[in-house]
Amino acid sequence: MALSMYDASVPVLKHMLNNLAVILQKSAEHADSRKIEPGVLVNARLFPDMFPLARQVQIATDQAKGCAARLAGIAIPSFEDNETTFDELLARIAKTTAFLDSIEALQIDGSEDRDIVLQLHEIKLEFKGQDYLLKWVLPNFYFHVTTAYNILRHNGVEIGKRDFLAI
């Protein structure tokens, strides 16, 4: 049985977004139990020139919804990047997951050769659907989810590989 474009995208993205939501919830509980201002974690960075936790979550959700929409050939939902709390980040993940739930396999399957064009400031990137998914979305998505995990782990949140993988 061949792996479909839908199977390689939407369920994978949803799984990791759900894992990220659990990690964020554990982080909120960690902050509460240790009397840490939650904003300290939401704004934490691994290094000064890296984005903070909130932006890592925003980019991960943008990658997920952008992927599903582009592969399905539909408009990408627009979310404001204004989350400043764990609850707001969790709500953003829930909105993204709800959007992914609205996409049917028939909308994405067969998109391997769909032309995908990204305009990133002055850089124009052109992909076919399969390369877009495998060489752009998934690496970027995992980078930002992993960075969010690492920010929280670095700041003492008691999470591990099992939380990241949900096993």
123 band by pLDDT with thresholds 50, 70 and 90: very high
1 has pLDDT over 80 = no
* pLDDT 10s digits, 45-55: 999 999 999 99
Report the share of the chain in percent with pLDDT over 90. Answer: 98
The total number of structural domains in the chain stands at: 1
Domain range for 109 is 5-165
**Beta partners for residue 118, in sequence order:** 125
Q: How far is CA 61 from CA 30, 33, 36, 50, 158, in A?
A: 23, 27, 26, 17, 23
- CB-based contact 102:30 (threshold 8 Å): no
- CB-based contact 67:9 (threshold 8 Å): yes
Can you give the pLDDT at residue 133?
98
Give the CATH number of the domain where residue 90 resides: 1.20.120.450
* pLDDT 10s digits, 57-105: 999 999 999 999 999 999 999 999 999 999 999 999 999 999 999 999 9
2 band by pLDDT with thresholds 50, 70 and 90: confident
Tell me the backbone φ, ψ of residue 128, rounded to 5 degrees.
-95, 155
Query: What's the pTM?
Result: 0.96
